[in-house]
Structure 1
Amino acid sequence: MKLDDDTIEKKLLHLPEWDYYENAIHTEYEFDNFKDCFSAMSRIAFECEALNHHPNWSNEYNILKISLSTHDEDGVTIKDFKLAEAIEAIVEEEDD
């Protein structure tokens, strides 16, 4: 079920690296180098498969840009927040 704007904004309080615009939640990460960025993307890909939910994303050298929305619902759903939380955990682990 698509979430309303107020619910999305409240949930984003727990994900300060993420922003809501253009009917999706977005973030950008900068890594030390391409290898670290690609490593994070690989780990995120396994989580996406496990959740059966996939981001729109791109990378340029050490920058990873991610957008999440649920196409079937034409907006942001709880699935997007579950994946965003999983992505945050993966990226934090990469930083350690």
Structure 2
Amino acid sequence: MEPYLLQDGELNELVFKIPGWEIKPTQIQREFNFSNFIEAFAFMTKVALMCEKYNHHPNWENVYAKVLIKLYTHDLGGVTNLDQTLASEINKIFDQ
């Protein structure tokens, strides 16, 4: 998948395409909350394996049962179609 920067109209549509994500001009982010550290870490492991498949990796933080994920494409300086794809895949993992 060749990444390209999303334009303003495409960024506005993300609210509907990737529910739960906060859309900013230069990144998208979402906080995920779990019952405990083990659940949070298991989620992160699944996300890490999926991201490796796309060779595109998030900026993230984990504090006990909370995981904060930020996505943007460093090379292109903003949010791309690849970030949108990862966010959608991450939502699917979370909903399982």
1:27 aligned onto 2:27 = no
How far 1:22 sits from its partner (Å)? 5.4
AA aligned to 2:48 is A
Q: 1:67 is paired with a residue of what secondary structure?
A: strand
Between structures 1 and 2, the one with greater helix share? 1
The corresponding residue for 1:44 is: 47
1:27-49: CA deviation from partner (whole Å, max 9, x where unpaired)? 00100100000000000000000
TM-score by length of 1: 0.92
Q: CA RMSD in A?
A: 1.0
- What percentage of aligned pairs have identical amino acids? 38
The corresponding residue for 2:5 is: 2
Distance 2:8 2:34 in 1: 30
Q: What residue ranges of structure 2 are gaps of 5+ in the alignment?
A: none
TM-score by length of 2: 0.92
| Runs of 4 or more above 6 Å deviation | none
How many positions carry a matched residue from both structures? 93
AA aligned to 2:8 is D
1:11 aligned onto 2:14 = yes
